[in-house]
Amino acid sequence: MPLQGKCLCEKIAVTVADESLPLQFASCYCKNCSTTAGSPFSMVAYVDKAHLKIEGQPKIYSDSKTDSGGSVYRHFCGDCGTPVQTLAPAIPDKAVVKVGLFSDSLGDINKPAVELFTVNRQRFPWLESIEGVPQCERNPPS
């Protein structure tokens, strides 16, 4: 059964097809994901674009000041501000989808499969790495 999600005001709807389920989560500590999430990290899932359907018209912010050094395109709801997805030319077949979109339909969220840009976690000395989860100081593994 496809996974359904939505932004806070429900003007953007997101569907992940069965082929990309179950989602594999990542905690991203890059400064820009942290800023857009309003927290030390953002919970995301890498989804094949072919398995992702977005209904509604998100606004797009071209983000060129990234920790990875590459530009990304951050899609968000222009009405309520909910982050929806990030697209990066470096990974053309994937969308980085924000896990919070699925809070009504996901159920329990497993620990992430990887933690990204952990070099930035030093800004939050009270946050510890998750035991058994691979740590990437910078870019995710290809």
Distance of CA 8 to the CA centre of its chain: 16
Is residue 76 one of the residues assigned to a domain? Answer: yes
99 part of a folded domain: yes
Q: What is the three-class DSSP state of 30?
A: coil
The dihedral through the CA atoms of 74, 121, 115, 111 has a sign that is negative
Q: What is the CATH number of the domain that holds 73?
A: 2.170.150.70
Any domain includes 23: yes
Calculate mean pLDDT across residues 8-21: 95
| Residue type (1 letter), 33 | C
pLDDT over 80 at 54, yes or no: yes
Q: 106 pLDDT band (50/70/90 cuts)?
A: confident
Do 121 and 29 contact (CB within 8 A), yes or no? yes
Is residue 49 included in any domain, yes or no? yes
pTM of the model: 0.89
CA distance 41 to 133: 15
Count of the separate structural domains present in the chain: 1
Identify the helix (H) or strand (E) that includes residue 53: strand 52-55
| Residue 123 domain flag | yes
CA distance 138 to 7: 28
* Domain hosting residue 15, numbered range: 3-136
Q: Is residue 142 part of a domain?
A: no
Residue 107: pLDDT above 90? no
The radius of gyration computed from the CA coordinates of the chain, to the nearest angstrom, equals: 14
67 assigned to some structural domain: yes
Q: How confident is the model at residue 103 (pLDDT cuts 50, 70, 90)?
A: confident
- In this prediction, residue 142 carries a pLDDT of 59
Q: Which of 51, 115, 46, 57 is nearest to 87 (CA)?
A: 46
- The answer to the question of residue 141 being in a domain is no
Q: For residue 108, what are the contacts with CB-CB under 8 A and spacing of at least 6?
A: none
